[in-house]
Amino acid sequence: MAKKDDLRCKTKKMKVYKFGGASVNSAERISNVAAILERFSDDDLVIVISAMGKTTNALEKVVQAFYAEKKEEALQLFDEIKRQHLTTAKYLLVTHYLACEARLRDCFTEVEWMLHDAPVREFDYYYDQVVSVGELLATCIVSFYLSERGIQNEWVDVRDIFRTDDNFRDANINWAFTQQQVDRYIQPLVQQKKWIITQGFIGATDENESTTLGREGSDYSAALFANMLNAASLTIWKDVESVMSADPKQIPDAVPIHSLSYNEVIEMAYYGAQVIHPKTIKPLQNKNIPLYVKCFLDADLPGTIIHNSVNKDLPPIIVIKENQVMMELKTKDFSFVGDAHAYQLYQWFNEHSLRPTLTQNGAISLIFAFDNWEEKISRFSSAAAGMFDVHVTPGLTLTTIRHYNQAALDRYINNKEMLVKQQTQRNIRVLHRS
């Protein structure tokens, strides 16, 4: 036991970095990542990387074609992904090109093998086997490129470390086993001052099937590494200057926020802000590990620190979720809405993987808002129709403002045609027509 603690103490200075898809979406961007890493050559780093650019979306199309038994189309779509990765590798590598190509081709073969068969298992299983390859390809190229630049590093297949259950596409980490693997394989590499290049988003079952942790799950992987390695910090490198008070694409005068509490970020993510994957905060908060959000386009910008702090004087933080539907459920027999109804509804939500973005209870009715996943919503409505009269209203937007003030209310709320409004001292949430 003492020995293990010793190990962990010594690695107190180690840090985890996470680079998202946009930071490695071209040869130029990959060389930019290397340039950033070179600035931190004194640190011990575990570096978690996502799939290049939109590769995950492209792989989703491959698996959809495969599952629709359009084999030729699936293979063609996959060829395009192969070509992109080989081109990037060729552009970046000279001495290490052949070794890299061999490793990429191993990954390609893994997928193609599968694509040549007909699907016999559930979609989600194939999804994970195919989609997980995006992170393997990207990390492989980055790792060889760093070697080419003289930056020593060790490529680790995270599927040997992150053990999950077989809940494909939303797999759950087996903490105890994964911690053991981290101690056994990752800690010693950190001790030897080796930089580790590994994948976010993916893991494997005890039967060696690949799994994924949910879209955009790399932040969460990086947080798990930080937790299990007792890292000094986690840095997520993004294409934004820092966390902003709103999405600048929706609100151009959004302002940067340089310091946030874990609590604030959890709330923001919960209400739908696309800042950081919502599962990321807990592993960090539990060990009081600060999270830095930094800009890979300009590493000198201050970015944001997310830590154990109390935030005062935050600007209004605005989250706008478009494309919402409202569902009103009224008990058929005029009975009060009780625990049994709620229990049943939440079971259906689970079954249909629906998560309400807003809920409101009345005496004989319930109101929910959802992202407009038409198919899921209509399946859910059919299930609920036995117990409730169901009424669905599409074409809505859900606006949440934390720390609102009068100016923000006037600008974003009061001029809207509201269907539901929920207000506390700190928060206001309004479902309104778009």
50 binds Mg ion (CB under 5 A): yes
Nearer to ligand ASP, 20 or 316 (CB): 20
* Residue that the structure tokens 């080419």 belong to: 148
201 binds, among ligand ASP, Mg ion, none (CB under 5 to 8 A by kind): ligand ASP
Nearer to Mg ion, 223 or 420 (CB): 223
Nearer to ligand ASP, 136 or 318 (CB): 136
Q: What is the DSSP string of 81-112?
A: HHHHHHHHHHHH-STTHHHHHHHHHHHHHHHH
Q: Minimum CB separation from ligand ASP for residue 59, in Å?
A: 9
Residue 134 has which token pair?
């995006």
Nearer to Mg ion, 222 or 326 (CB): 222
Among 15, 18, 19, 20, binds Mg ion (CB under 5 A): 20
* Residue that the structure tokens 């790399």 belong to: 218
Nearer to ligand ASP, 51 or 81 (CB): 51
Q: Minimum CB separation from ligand ASP for residue 17, in Å?
A: 14
Contact 172, 203 (CB under 8 A): no
316 binds, among ligand ASP, Mg ion, none (CB under 5 to 8 A by kind): none
124 binds, among Mg ion, ligand ASP, none (CB under 5 to 8 A by kind): none
Residue 306 has which token pair?
């997310």
The single-letter code of the amino acid at 265 is V
Sign, Cα dihedral of 144, 146, 150, 156: negative
What are the phi and psi torsion angles at 175 (to 5°)? -60, -45
Longest dimension (CA), the chain: 75
Nearer to Mg ion, 25 or 164 (CB): 25
Given the DSSP bridges, would you call strands 195-199 and 153-156 parallel, antiparallel or unpaired? parallel
* Residue that the structure tokens 């935030």 belong to: 311
Name the helix (H) or strand (E) containing 204.
strand 202-204
316 binds Mg ion (CB under 5 A): no
Stretch that binds Mg ion, among 14-22, 109-117, 231-239, 341-349 (CB under 5 A): 14-22
Q: Which residues bind ligand ASP (CB under 6 A)?
A: 20-21, 50-51, 56, 134, 200-201, 215-218
Residues forming the site for Mg ion (CB under 5 A) = 20-21, 50
